[in-house]
A and B are shown apart, each in its own frame.
Chain A
Amino acid sequence: GAVVSQHPSWVICKSGTSVKIECRSLDFQATTMFWYRQFPKQSLMLMATSNEGSKATYEQGVEKDKFLINHASLTLSTLTVTSAHPEDSSFYICSADTAEDLQETQYFGPGTRLLVL
């Protein structure tokens, strides 16, 4: 149980285009989903926290108008990178929390590798 999927697993796009990344909890309802970004050989940095039905909370320095997050249901959150530029190339990983799990553990998706040309 507690499986989180992401789609796509990798994407290449041209500079200036928008890219949407989906994060799904497959067998549980996720009250909260987190979006992280990881540059090569660096750590995971939290971008934003999203709760179903409400606006996402962005970390300091993350542009909310550039990284649009929608958490429309308890099993799906989307991250849209708008007007992507080469510096947005990174590994984007989501995680989901389930209120069903007394362990209160986050479950990570497999990640989406974005390359902006």
Chain B
Amino acid sequence: GENVEQHPSTLSVQEGDSAVIKCTYSDSASNYFPWYKQELGKRPQLIIDIRSNVGEKKDQRIAVTLNKTAKHFSLHITETQPEDSAVYFCAASLFGNEKLTFGTGTRLTIIP
């Protein structure tokens, strides 16, 4: 089955700086790669996703890149703000409506 690794497990950045979180996956058949933000005790919130037919997607301060050959994808957050502090999970699935395999999570702390 699919295996998703995520690094780093914790990340602290100064407010205004950029944050990068990286994930690798094992199943070359995976085509859908979402990123979720989870605040304590809350449901995961989809912040951005990318499908295998594109290499990069951007939404304001958030961007995701995908390298299918190397089987890794990354989340980039620019101009970080205190409200970006949360746990971020990457995931992979065959399609968006298929079961998700989650990474281990990254606790991002933005230092004011």
Residues of A near any B CB (own CB < 8 A) = 31-32, 34, 42-46, 49, 91, 93, 95, 97, 99, 103-106, 108-111, 113
Contacts and interface: CB of A to CB of B under 8 A. Distances in A.
A106 B97 contact: yes
Interface string B94-112: 0111011111110000000
Instruction: Decide if the interface of chain B is mainly helix, strand, loop or mixed.
Output: loop
B61 interface: no
A93 B44 contact: yes
Interface residues of B, number: 20
A44 B102 contact: yes
A71 B95 CA distance: 21
Nearest to A99: B97
Q: Which residue, of B45, B99, B100, B104, has the highest number of chain A Cβ atoms within 10 A?
A: B99
A41 B82 CA distance: 20
